[in-house]
Amino acid sequence: MKLTFSWNRTQVRTAFALCTSDGENAAAVSPLAHLLDDDSRLGIDHAIRWIDEGKKLALASLQGVPGPLRWAREYFCAEMDGDRTIAMSGGDPACRQVVTTRSFLGALETWQAFLAAGPTGVPRTVDVQALGGS
Residue 26 confidence (pLDDT) above 80 = no
C-alpha to C-alpha distance for 33 and 111, rounded to whole angstroms = 10
Instruction: Give the pLDDT band of residue 12 (cuts 50, 70, 90).
Output: low
Residue 24 confidence (pLDDT) above 80 = no
Residue 109 confidence (pLDDT) above 80 = yes
Give how far the C-alpha of residue 53 lies from the chain's centroid of Cα atoms, to the nearest Å. 12
Output Rg (C-alpha) for the chain, integer angstroms. Answer: 14
Q: Are 89 and 74 in contact (CB under 8 A)?
A: no
Long-range own/partner contacts, residues 75-80 (CB < 8 A, 24 or more apart): 75/34, 75/38, 76/31, 76/34, 76/35, 76/38, 77/35, 78/32, 78/35, 78/54, 78/104, 80/104
Sign of CA dihedral 80, 81, 84, 88: negative
Give the residue among 129, 123, 130 at the shortest CA–CA distance from 19: 123
Question: What residues are paired with 19 via a beta bridge?
Answer: 5
What pLDDT does residue 46 have?
Answer: 85
Residue 123 confidence (pLDDT) above 80 = yes
Q: Where are the domains of the chain?
A: 2-131
